[in-house]
Chain A
Amino acid sequence: MPSVLLLCLLCMAHPVHPHLIQVCGGVQTDTQMATSEYGHAMVLRRLLRKRWVLGVVFGLSLIYFLTNTLKQEERTIRDRTLLEARDPDHRIPWKVRFNLGNSSRPITQCRNSIQGKSLLTDELGYVCERKDLLVNGCCNVNALSSRQYICKSCLANGCCNIYEYCVSCCLQPDKQLLLEHFLNRAADGFQNLFTAVEDHFELCLAKCRTSSQSVQHENTYRNPQAKYCYGESPPELLPI
């Protein structure tokens, strides 16, 4: 609809082809106009002939048309870029804020890894059993089972047997470089995920999960023993 409108305005702005005006506006027949005052019409006619009037009309319509189209395009672009293939040196616009583990701010409420069968990792990197979880969601640091930044069950390639240990290990402050490096080279398929991640804890939760990198032949793990990876490389490929 806006483009039709634009076409009509375009032809009005070019009086060189008057018959085109008939195409656009000739639907209204002369009978309606028969009663109008000659003088009055003359003024309007002159006004209309003025280029600036036409220009203003055209301009307004153009602005309307463009804003409408652009708005639509903007949304499509935003949607599309999520998984579009890109040039290899493109970086995903990650926005992870790393906490360096030296924050003196006493934490009152912790996020934790929620899902565990028996273990949980809190955002400070403590792994503890469910029974040692405090009401605020943090691990009870005094409990025997609680350990911070523990890489138990993790292999040298950054893949672990137990998810909670993977998250805890990944939260180690010295893993920041590795993670940044990964984020800079992350495959486009992970763009959705890693551009939505906001901080170190969320990044580790997301990075340690099994993903398209964890499988061979789609329905088997590359390595069922060490499938949770905080590192860059996928799990080592074991023969079926």
Chain B
Amino acid sequence: MGVVFGTFSMHTKQVTFRTDKIDDELEMTMVCHRPEGLEQLEAKTNFTKQELQVLYRGFKNECPSGVVNEETFKHIYAQFFPHGDPSTYAHYLFNAFDTRNNGSIKFEDFVMGLSTLLRGTVRDKLEWTFHLYDINKDGFINKEEMTEIVRAIYDMMGKYTYPALKGDVPKQHVDAFFEKMDKNKDGVVTLEEFVLACQEVCLYCCIFYLHLP
């Protein structure tokens, strides 16, 4: 009996050549995306040539293939926020940058997003933030979407916080802020309501902090 089994195990031992895996890797490295010319990007964004050069060098170093996918995003955010779990927030952020919804961010998308965030007008930045919060991109933020975002932000804090996160803190957070934003109390926040609410609170003075190194 053992003989039979022994033989069968010998014969059925597949010698699997890992060609499929190698092919995939080759394919990935061959897909190389080149961005538009420097002049075109300079025209489209608010960055100077030197700044674009610096940005591209960094980007190309990180992603030699020229595109960023969501996994890389999540990985990077995990490095910045090791306390908690930033994967959900990274997902929403990725969607905010991936304006064409094809699952990857090219350098153009990356630089356009950055241009809005760093060099855009206050209105542009608020619009960008609105699109970040609007998960299903229907032009309205409802309470669930805001709760999702806030929950994702709290996830980044991790477990060990002071004061301890007791109860449904994200929900309380959302309740407080949604009231202020939803002016006509119709359950959704439109872009105008959003911009108005943010400008009132005057928190957007802080935007000027974030600058290119």
Q: Do A and B bind each other?
A: no
Chain B interfacial positions (CB closer than 8 Å to A)? none
Chain A interfacial positions (CB closer than 8 Å to B)? none
